[in-house]
């Protein structure tokens, strides 16, 4: 594995709610948050411009904290209905424009989650499958790729539990239709594992279109207990699904090892709900484990 690989943090452990969701309003003020990310041991942070800041001011704050920017993330709330397309595409263009101004050429792309939706209530099982909906979403994702292309930014599909693209079959269906130069692949080790996917196999099969990875550990036994007992998304999370890297049951080194030898993208740590109660200590432990497991990463 090359020494060009980079470590980054999406600092969502500061945003975890008591009921198993995320609330960005819980995070410290942006300058303080960036300082905490650096002190925890990370040199890169996921791009996420807060409301009220423009890209230039945000980039200056990131630089002041001694950090570099890693690709951000766009969640588009859509079920593939044509009436939604114009709004989704407008948001996609805005995100691409901001990323271009930040000097980034990649962005994660997922569907949005909505409390009370069928897949939030019965997660990680491909609930309520619909081939026509998946085809419409595939077309929309292709349109997003085309809309972002003039800005030099490529979206990468991010399968996420609780959305209409969460299973391995759905992931492959989309990626096998859309060309790699239009849409990349952003695997999330934890969400794919929760949904029962062959994560190492997926990474190996689509390795040439992966610009970065969301490195997330989990307790597979909690995911299985949730399926058996009929837990919803939030109930499964509250019962201890997510943990810091190295504290769960995923073979993260094996998954990362399926990337190309010359992979020069980011390993981006995400801890949706910290197992270590203090968010900063959670980030510190995450950075320490990642640097031990992947000492060649910058």
Residue 141 placed within a domain? yes
Identify any residues that bridge with 7 across adjacent strands, giving them in sequence order.
267
Structural domain range at position 226? 6-293
CATH code: domain of residue 269: 3.20.20.150
Residue 226 placed within a domain? yes
Residue 24 placed within a domain? yes
- Is residue 137 within 8 A of residue 78, CB to CB? The reply is yes
Residue 1 placed within a domain? no
Identify any residues that bridge with 74 across adjacent strands, giving them in sequence order.
109
Q: Give the residue among 146, 164, 223 at the shortest CA–CA distance from 189.
A: 223
Residue 298 placed within a domain? no
CB half-sphere exposure, 287, CA atoms < 13 A: 21
Residue 78 placed within a domain? yes
* pLDDT score, position 3: 56
* pLDDT score, position 195: 98
Residue 17 placed within a domain? yes
Domain count, the chain: 1
Cβ partners under 8 Å of residue 254, min gap 6 = 200
Burial label, 182 (beta-carbon count in 10 A; 0-12, 13-18, 19+):
middle
* pLDDT score, position 273: 98
Residue 46 placed within a domain? yes
CA 208 to chain centroid, in Å, comes to 18
The per-residue pLDDT string of the chain (298 residues; one tens digit each, 9 = 90 and over) reads 455 899 999 999 999 999 999 999 999 999 999 999 999 999 999 999 999 999 999 999 999 999 999 999 999 988 877 778 999 999 999 999 999 999 999 999 999 999 999 999 999 999 999 999 999 999 999 999 999 999 999 999 999 999 999 999 999 999 999 999 999 999 999 999 999 999 999 999 999 999 999 999 999 999 999 999 999 999 999 999 999 999 999 999 999 999 999 999 999 999 999 999 999 999 999 999 999 999 988 7
* pLDDT score, position 4: 83
CA distances from 148 to 91, 98, 296 (A): 10, 11, 32
* pLDDT score, position 298: 78
- Is residue 280 within 8 A of residue 36, CB to CB? The reply is yes
């Amino acid at each position: 594995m090359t020494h060009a690989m980079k470590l980054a943090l999406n600092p969502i452990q500061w945003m975890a709610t008591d009921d198993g969701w995320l609330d960005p309003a819980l995070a410290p003020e942006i300058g303080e948050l960036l300082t905490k990310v650096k002190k925890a041991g990370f040199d890169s942070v996921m791009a996420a411009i807060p409301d009220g800041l423009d890209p230039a001011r945000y980039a200056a704050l990131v630089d002041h904290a001694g950090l570099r920017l890693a690709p951000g993330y766009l969640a588009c709330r859509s079920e593939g209905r044509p009436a939604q397309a114009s709004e989704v595409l407008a948001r996609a263009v805005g995100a691409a424009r901001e990323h271009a101004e930040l000097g980034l050429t990649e962005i994660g792309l997922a569907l949005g989650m909505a409390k009370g939706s069928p897949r939030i209530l019965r997660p990680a099982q491909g609930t309520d499958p619909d081939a026509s909906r998946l085809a419409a979403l595939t077309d929309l994702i292709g349109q997003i790729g085309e809309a972002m292309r003039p800005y030099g930014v490529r979206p990468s599909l991010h399968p996420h539990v609780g959305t209409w693209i969460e299973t391995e079959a759905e992931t492959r269906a989309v990626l096998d239709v859309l060309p790699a130069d239009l849409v990349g692949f952003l695997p999330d080790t934890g969400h794919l594992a929760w949904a029962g996917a062959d994560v190492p196999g997926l990474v190996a099969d689509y390795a040439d279109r992966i610009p970065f990875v969301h490195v997330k550990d989990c307790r597979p036994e909690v995911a299985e207990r949730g399926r058996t007992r009929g837990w919803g998304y939030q109930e499964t999370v509250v019962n201890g699904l997510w943990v810091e890297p190295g504290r769960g049951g995923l073979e993260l080194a094996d998954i990362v090892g399926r990337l190309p030898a010359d992979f020069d993208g980011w390993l981006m740590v995400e801890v949706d709900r910290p197992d270590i109660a203090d968010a900063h200590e959670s980030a510190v432990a995450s950075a320490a484990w990642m640097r031990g497991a992947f000492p060649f990463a910058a």
